[in-house]
């Protein structure tokens, strides 16, 4: 190896970086901060002196033990027990856009049930020409599709209506995951049963329910049912986990997670919505005047800075800093994300990791220089419809403070000079 | 629930399907084959009579126990021990395109080493203006990118040169995975060190090596190093698994997996290739005349039917059948995949699950009707350069039968009338 390596002082590199940043296409440079003699240069590293572990030590590969903190987590006080409860995706520690199933959030209404594929049945009944019952193997014989979609619980960020409550992006925004689903279009299955008996489809609905005790029944307008709803049996290539609805769940792209019925057992074509518990007493938004709005299916455009954030503080001092986060919209693709360091007074347009895709998470980055001073970090998403993510004040002006669901307001992290971050509100 | 459901005979549905298939846009229909009274219709299912499991039972969610067969697997006789060995992705059981890290193949040359992020160092030295040593946190301060790339071992399908050896797509084609990587462009890091000292970059190379005992050193032409090579620290959003190079590996899009150095510790800019063991005695192709070709980096276009296949037989008898598989090219995006049922005499164009993306897996489907007769199933990939995947005979005519690496020939599965499939050769 070369013996000419030398460590470079952060300040010099930052100076160079500052100079380079004036040029077009310049990248934010960072410092090589090796302290003292480096084992790479002067010594043989320990890992090169012995062999490591052999292949296939476990049936299913797990994260390295140093990453055990990257896991779904509960908030103890949120629910009375874990049977009807939620855990949160560790979005503060992830990058890119795909969520591994192993750390994707769960929400159960009566616990996760265990069903074998051979016991699985899906019935389509109601206003159809021929009621049908499908086995799992039947479903595999229909043409399949693959799509990456986000699934967000309508209650994501719900605890924040009243004020800054939870100190971490995992807890404020972690009821979301984003996976590549494989399955059969619901349209295909409805056409197999035949919709002639339903007459004019304009005012028809499908009622979908799961096999668990809650049944979690929801009404979906026929227009959506025939558009992009997917009867899915794989996520990120492999079988759905038990907790995500094995062997079959519904994907209702862009719409609230409660409608993504797990352990899907029945689809009934009906001439009016069922007005089930899940769409009347729950998953409605109580407004300031005490009335409730319902049929609030689509998740409005939203974003959050995942790093830096309370669980992902800045550890490296001033200089080059990557600010990153996630943005999404239930009404289409994300077109732009802006980032503010001063609580919304000024904004910079972030870089999207890839062009936005419909009803899928977008990753954004702002490659910047941190001056070591406090920041009020915010992100603001815009989708292809022109919709702009609102401030918390704007949202409260319209919806009051009694809601639980559909809080898509701009989030603020107060980043302190020591690099730690806190959940705060700015007026 | 409706009590008007009735099971429909397969033959009727198949007749309807056959009739419908004559129309444009018709889908392959399948039968609802519920035998006798169905619990969905006449009984309350057991799962609805009690609550299920609560959330967060395990730190990291695992596949349901019924899917334990979907796992990486070794071939016992392939290597003397597991320290320098391979396991295979269960591609016969996956759908879509993303490979979960938990079941993505591994290849180690001296075992998988365990390194903490805080112990990680990456050195850039050689013909650079300023040799640099980066910590893991340094790397996180550079602009990051996200890309889905396949990683294929050059030896994938290597055991098939001499004839049909291994009975399953997992074993013949499972040394491949496809993940969304997040990391820093190698170009960015080389520019940080400065390439002025290297002079004319046209004939320069980088030599990359890992921290494990094998070091697995490989030479990469500067043109590729400055193009799309990624210094990656996340795969599918989360940290690389230990076995995939935690905390940092190289991604060399489209090029043989051996170059995707794991536990990346050093990048040296050099004025000629190093001619390391890994690129001279290994990862070269011995031709019929005894000479070897080398610098065979790009993985040529290739495809395989994953279902039906020996590990994924047809269980449902004749009628609607989904034939599916994977296609990829190291030279760009997949443009088209054809499927043959008669060993290559006639071909039908398959449907791609999504438009092909550069250096990423494509999923293809052929929605068809099976007449219950034997099939000689093949798939043939075409990439955006116009390259067409060759037959085994065509490949042997050029390369002989002594090679181990870079076997991208068309694979044949003999599907028997009972639905079982076998690995065979057709002449």
In angstroms, the CA B264 to CA B277 distance is: 17
Q: Are B325 and B170 in contact (CB under 8 A)?
A: no
Residues B56, A121: C-beta atoms closer than 8 Å:
no
Contacts 24+ apart (CB under 8 A), A414-418: A414/A374, A414/A375, A414/A376, A414/A377, A415/A308, A415/A313, A415/A314, A415/A374, A415/A375, A415/A376, A415/A377, A416/A374, A417/A372, A417/A373, A417/A374
Phi, psi of A147 (to 5 degrees): -150, 140
Residue A18, SS3 per DSSP: helix
Residue B199: Cβ within 10 Å count: 11
- How much is the pLDDT for A205? 98
Of A52, A97, A116, the CB nearest to B146: A97
What do you get for the CA distance between the two ends of chain B, in Å? 56
Chain A: residue whose CA lies nearest to B44: A211
In angstroms, the CA A124 to CA B57 distance is: 33
- Choose among B350, B368, B101, B54: nearest CA to B249: B101
Chain A: residue whose CA lies nearest to B13: A192
A55 touches chain B (CB under 8 A): yes
Q: Are B181 and B229 in contact (CB under 8 A)?
A: no
Residues A55, B86: C-beta atoms closer than 8 Å:
yes
Instruction: Answer whether residue B98 shows pLDDT above 90.
Output: yes
In angstroms, the CA B362 to CA B380 distance is: 13
- What distance lies between CA B258 and its chain's CA centroid? 14
- How much is the pLDDT for B21? 29
Instruction: Answer whether residue B16 shows pLDDT above 60.
Output: no
Instruction: Write down the residue that tokens 């455009």 correspond to.
Output: A301
Instruction: Write down the residue that tokens 């924040």 correspond to.
Output: A160
Instruction: Answer whether residue B29 shows pLDDT above 50.
Output: no
B358 touches chain A (CB under 8 A): no
| Shortest alpha-carbon distance between residue B3 and chain A (Å) | 9
- Choose among B344, B308, B306: nearest CA to B417: B308
Range list of β-strands (E), B253-331: 264-270, 285-286, 292-293, 302-307, 319-328
In angstroms, the CA B259 to CA B152 distance is: 10
List all residues of chain A from 201 to 260 with a beta carbon under 8 Å from chain B.
211-213, 215, 233-234, 236-239, 241-243, 246
B78 touches chain A (CB under 8 A): no
Q: Are B309 and B330 in contact (CB under 8 A)?
A: no
User: CB contacts < 8 Å between A and B, how many?
Assistant: 423
Write the DSSP assignment of A275-318 as a string of letters.
Answer: --HHHHTSS-EE-TTS-EE----BPPPEEEEEESBTTB---S-S
A288 touches chain B (CB under 8 A): no
3-state secondary structure chain A: CCCCCCCCCHHHHHHHHHHHCCCCCCCCCCCCCCCCCCHHHHCCCHHHCCCCECCCCCCCCCCCHHHCCCCCECCCCCCCCCCCEECECCHHHCCCCCCCHHHCCCEECCCECCCCHHHCEEEEEECCCCCEEEEHHHHCCCCEEEEEEEEECCCCCHHHCCCCCCCCHHHHHCCEEEEEEEEEEHHHHHHHHCCHHHCCHHHCEEEEEECCCCCCCEEEEHHHHCCCCEEEEEECCEECCHHHCCCCEEECCCECHHHCCCCEEEEEEECCCCCCHHHHCCCCEECCCCCEECCCCECCCEEEEEECECCECCCCCCEEEEEEEEEECCCCCEEEEEEECECCCCCEECEECCCCCCCCCEEEEEEEEECCCCEEEEEEEEECCCCECCCHHHHHHHHCCCCCCCCCCCCEEEECCCCCEEEECCC
Which residues in B lie closer than 8 A to residue A268 (C-beta atoms)? 1-2
Chain A: residue whose CA lies nearest to B86: A55
What are B75's two structure tokens?
Answer: 């071939």
What do you get for the CA distance between the two ends of chain A, in Å? 56
In angstroms, the CA B89 to CA B361 distance is: 14
- Find which of B27, B32, B66 to mutate to test the A interface (most A CBs within 10 Å of its CB): B32
Strand duo A375-383 + A334-340: pairing: antiparallel
What are A201's two structure tokens?
Answer: 């489809």
Rounded CA Rg of chain A: 24
Residues B237, A96: C-beta atoms closer than 8 Å:
yes
For chain B, what's the residue count? Answer: 427
Of A31, A40, A66, the CB nearest to B266: A40
Residues B95, A28: C-beta atoms closer than 8 Å:
no
In angstroms, the CA B415 to CA B418 distance is: 8
B58 pLDDT band, cuts 50/70/90, is confident
- How much is the pLDDT for B13? 33
- Maximum Cα interatomic distance, chain B, rounded to a whole number of Å: 81
Of B97, B107, B180, the CB nearest to A96: B180
- How much is the pLDDT for B42? 58
pLDDT digits (tens, 9 = 90+) for B144-184: 999 999 999 999 999 998 888 899 999 999 999 999 999 99
- Find which of A8, A12, A28, A51 to mutate to test the B interface (most B CBs within 10 Å of its CB): A51
ipTM: 0.91
pLDDT digits (tens, 9 = 90+) for B243-300: 999 999 999 999 999 999 999 999 999 999 999 999 998 999 889 898 999 899 999 9
In angstroms, the CA B54 to CA B47 distance is: 14
| Shortest alpha-carbon distance between residue B319 and chain A (Å) | 9
In angstroms, the CA A114 to CA B307 distance is: 26
Q: Are A88 and A172 in contact (CB under 8 A)?
A: no
Of B2, B54, B126, the CB nearest to A126: B2
| Shortest alpha-carbon distance between residue A161 and chain B (Å) | 24
B350 touches chain A (CB under 8 A): no
| Shortest alpha-carbon distance between residue B73 and chain A (Å) | 7
Which residues in B lie closer than 8 A to residue A353 (C-beta atoms)? 144-146, 182
B141 touches chain A (CB under 8 A): yes
pLDDT tens across the length of chain A (427 residues): 333 333 333 322 332 232 232 222 223 334 343 333 444 555 788 999 999 999 877 889 999 999 999 999 998 888 888 899 999 999 999 999 999 999 999 999 999 999 999 999 999 999 999 999 999 999 999 999 999 999 999 999 999 988 888 999 999 999 999 999 999 999 999 999 999 999 999 999 999 999 999 999 999 999 999 999 999 999 999 999 999 999 999 999 999 999 999 999 999 999 999 999 999 989 998 898 989 998 999 999 999 999 999 999 999 999 999 999 999 999 999 999 999 999 999 999 999 999 999 999 999 999 999 999 999 999 999 999 999 999 999 999 999 988 889 999 999 999 999 999 999 999 7
Chain B: residue whose CA lies nearest to A266: B40
CATH topology of domain B85-293: Sulfite Oxidase; Chain A, domain 2 (3.90.420)
Write the DSSP assignment of B129-167 as a string of letters.
Answer: SS-EEEEHHHHTTS-EEEEEEEEE-TTTTGGGTTS---S
- How much is the pLDDT for B164? 87
Q: Are B218 and B258 in contact (CB under 8 A)?
A: yes
Q: Map out the domains of chain B as residue ranges.
A: 85-293, 302-424
- Which 8-state DSSP code applies to residue B342? B
Stronger pLDDT, A267 or B403, i.e. the higher one:
A267
Chain B: residue whose CA lies nearest to A238: B94
Of A55, A97, A354, the CB nearest to B87: A55
Q: How far is CA B420 from CA A138, B69, B167, B290, B312, in A?
A: 18, 18, 11, 39, 8
B352 pLDDT band, cuts 50/70/90, is very high
Which residues in B lie closer than 8 A to residue A367 (C-beta atoms)? 142-143
pLDDT digits (tens, 9 = 90+) for B118-133: 999 999 999 999 999 9
- How much is the pLDDT for B130? 95
- Choose among B103, B118, B110, B360: nearest CA to B214: B110
- In CATH, the number for domain B302-424 is 2.60.40.650
Residue B288: Cβ within 10 Å count: 13
- How much is the pLDDT for A41? 55
Which residues in A lie closer than 8 A to residue B23 (C-beta atoms)? none
Which residues in B lie closer than 8 A to residue A93 (C-beta atoms)? 238
What are A424's two structure tokens?
Answer: 């705060």
In angstroms, the CA A326 to CA B191 distance is: 28
B118 touches chain A (CB under 8 A): no
- Find which of A35, A95, A106, A307 to mutate to test the B interface (most B CBs within 10 Å of its CB): A95
Q: How far is CA A146 from CA A235, A293, A400, B98, B339, in A?
A: 9, 33, 39, 10, 19
In angstroms, the CA A153 to CA A260 distance is: 9
In angstroms, the CA A276 to CA A266 distance is: 15
Strand duo A264-270 + A121-126: pairing: parallel
Lowest mean pLDDT among A5-9, B54-58, B389-393: A5-9
Q: Are A109 and A84 in contact (CB under 8 A)?
A: yes
In angstroms, the CA B109 to CA B115 distance is: 17
Chain B: residue whose CA lies nearest to A28: B142
In angstroms, the CA B204 to CA B339 distance is: 42
What are B242's two structure tokens?
Answer: 């230990």
């Amino acid at each position: 190896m070369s013996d000419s390596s030398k460590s470079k002082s952060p300040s010099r590199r930052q100076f160079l970086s500052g100079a380079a940043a004036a040029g077009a296409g310049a990248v934010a440079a960072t410092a090589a901060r090796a302290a003292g003699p480096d084992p790479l240069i002067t010594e043989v590293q320990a890992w090169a002196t012995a062999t490591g572990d052999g292949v296939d030590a476990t049936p299913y590969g797990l994260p390295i033990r140093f990453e055990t903190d990257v896991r779904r987590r509960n908030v103890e006080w949120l629910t009375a027990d874990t049977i009807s409860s939620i855990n949160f995706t560790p979005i503060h520690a992830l990058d890119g856009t795909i969520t591994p199933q192993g750390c994707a959030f769960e929400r159960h209404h009566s616990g996760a049930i265990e069903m074998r594929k051979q016991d699985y049945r899906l019935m389509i009944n109601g206003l159809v020409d021929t009621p049908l019952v499908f086995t799992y193997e039947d479903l595999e014989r229909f043409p399949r599709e693959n799509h990456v979609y986000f699934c967000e619980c309508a209650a994501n960020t719900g605890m924040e209506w009243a004020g800054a409550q939870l100190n971490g992006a995992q807890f404020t925004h972690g009821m979301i995951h984003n996976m590549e689903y494989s399955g059969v279009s619901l349209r295909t299955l409805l056409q197999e049963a035949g919709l002639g008996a339903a007459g004019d489809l304009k005012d028809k609905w499908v009622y979908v329910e799961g096999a668990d005790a809650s049944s979690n029944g929801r009404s979906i307008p026929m227009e959506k049912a025939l558009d992009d709803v997917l009867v899915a049996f794989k996520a990120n290539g492999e079988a759905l986990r038990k907790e995500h609805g094995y062997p079959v769940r519904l994907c209702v792209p862009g719409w609230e997670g409660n409608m993504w019925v797990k352990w899907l057992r029945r689809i009934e074509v009906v001439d009016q919505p069922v007005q089930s518990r899940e769409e009347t007493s729950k998953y409605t938004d109580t407004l300031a005047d005490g009335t409730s709005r319902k049929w609030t299916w689509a998740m409005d455009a939203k974003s959050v800075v995942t790093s830096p954030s309370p669980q992902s503080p800045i550890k490296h001092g001033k200089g080059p800093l990557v600010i990153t986060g996630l943005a999404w919209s239930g009404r289409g693709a994300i077109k732009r994300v802006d980032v503010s360091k001063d609580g919304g007074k000024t904004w910079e347009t972030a870089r999207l990791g890839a062009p936005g895709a419909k009803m899928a998470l977008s990753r954004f980055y702002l490659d910047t220089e941190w001056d070591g001073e406090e920041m009020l970090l915010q992100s603001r998403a815009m989708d292809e419809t022109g919709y702009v993510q609102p401030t918390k004040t704007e949202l409260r002006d319209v919806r009051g403070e009694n809601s639980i669901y559909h809080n898509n307001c701009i989030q603020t992290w107060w980043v302190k000079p020591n690099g730690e971050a806190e959940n705060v509100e700015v007026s």
